[in-house]
């Protein structure tokens, strides 16, 4: 059935319904079957024009003037029901020599054509949407493959060079995953490695790729940066993982403002095992439901 209600459809309904029924009592019953309220129906059928009762076409005109004040979905429901009466009608036989039933038949055929064209256009748009999505995914996979090569090159670097290289890779990874990202920036007294916006929240990002595992002091530093920002959250990404002290002292159920990720999480994203969006959704769900800010690497466990 049609989703887009046009003036042409309204005209076909008025002409079709007013000529489908010879007797006004049958027209009234059709209105009731189509969802027009009984009292509302009676009020229109009782109207007159210069003392003369309204014709069936005039009744349809009055009805559509009135239902324009209805909620859109209500108007659409009534109109769809009228269309069903026309296109599902099987026997277009006149009930009187003056009965122009052929007009109703032509309107029914025209409405079928309009509905078929709308459905065809809808399917074509859906096919274009699917193709565009597939093209984006294919392009994203190509970009991810290129980024994967850069990521592997990072392992050949040493010390700060590796960390700097990863800071350049991370924004690219976010863009491939269609996540809004700000690259590293400085404010008074602070160096911010980057920030992302996910699900309406801003996250300050701290990136560390050192030989040593990250300790409590580094995490505390990000907490302080987050505390000074309006409704901000934080993501700490330690490529070489966290010390036992950090894991054992993870906060549970209170003051959860920072998520902890590591190199395995990032490697899985870059390898295409899951997207960064899926990782974030999982990490947030674990923090929200279980109070765990360091989530498992296997999202499907």
Question: What are the residue boundaries of the structural domains of the chain, listed by start?
Answer: 7-121, 155-290
All residue ranges of the chain with pLDDT < 70 are 1-4, 184-190, 251-254, 301
List b or e across 96-117, with b for residues whose CB sees 16 or more CB atoms inside 10 angstroms: eeebebeebbbbbebbeebbee
pLDDT at 166: 92
Residue 187: its pLDDT value, please? 53
Q: What is the pLDDT of residue 61?
A: 94
Quote the pLDDT of residue 35.
93
Beta bridge partners of 235: 205, 259
Q: What letters, b where the CB count within 10 A reaches 16 and e where it falls short, cover 197-214?
A: ebeeebbbbbbbbeeebb
Largest pairwise CA distance in the chain: 97
Helices 263-270, 276-290: crossing angle, 10 deg rounding: 140
* Whole-prediction pTM: 0.60
Predicted pLDDT at 32: 95
Contacts of 287 (CB under 8 A, 6+ apart): 256, 259, 293, 295
CATH class of 155-290: alpha beta
Cα–Cα dist 30/281, whole Å: 51
DSSP string, 111-157: HHHHHHHHHHHHHHHHHHHHHHHHHHHHHHHHHHHHHHHHHHHHTT-
pLDDT score of 256: 80
CA distance 2 to 111: 9
């Amino acid at each position: 059935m049609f989703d887009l209600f046009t003036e042409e459809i309204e005209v076909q309904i008025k002409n079709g319904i007013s000529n489908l029924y010879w007797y006004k009592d049958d027209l009234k019953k059709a209105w009731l079957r189509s969802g027009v309220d009984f009292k509302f129906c009676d009020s229109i059928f009782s109207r007159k024009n210069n003392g003369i009762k309204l014709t069936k076409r005039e009744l349809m005109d009055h009805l559509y003037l009135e239902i324009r004040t209805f909620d859109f979905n209500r108007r659409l429901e009534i109109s769809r029901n009228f269309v069903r009466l026309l296109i599902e009608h099987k026997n277009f036989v006149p009930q009187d020599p003056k009965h122009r039933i052929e007009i109703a038949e032509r309107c029914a055929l025209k409405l079928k054509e309009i509905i078929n064209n709308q459905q065809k256009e809808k399917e074509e748009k859906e096919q274009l949407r699917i193709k565009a999505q597939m093209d984006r995914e294919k392009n994203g996979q190509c970009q991810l493959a290129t980024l994967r090569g850069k990521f592997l090159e990072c392992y050949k670097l040493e010390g700060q060079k590796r960390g700097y290289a990863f800071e350049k890779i991370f924004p690219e990874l976010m863009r491939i995953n269609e996540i809004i990202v700000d690259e590293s920036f400085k404010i008074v007294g602070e160096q911010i490695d980057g920030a992302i916006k996910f699900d309406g929240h801003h996250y300050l990002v701290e990136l560390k790729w050192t030989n040593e595992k990250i300790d409590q002091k580094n995490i505390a530093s990000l907490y302080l940066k987050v505390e000074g920002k309006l409704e901000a959250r934080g993501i700490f990404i330690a490529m070489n993982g966290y010390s036992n002290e950090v894991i054992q002292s993870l906060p549970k159920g209170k003051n959860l403002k920072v998520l902890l990720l590591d190199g395995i999480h990032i490697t899985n994203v870059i390898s295409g095992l899951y997207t960064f969006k899926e990782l974030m959704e999982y990490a947030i769900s674990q923090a929200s439901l279980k109070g765990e800010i360091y989530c498992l690497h296997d999202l499907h466990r």
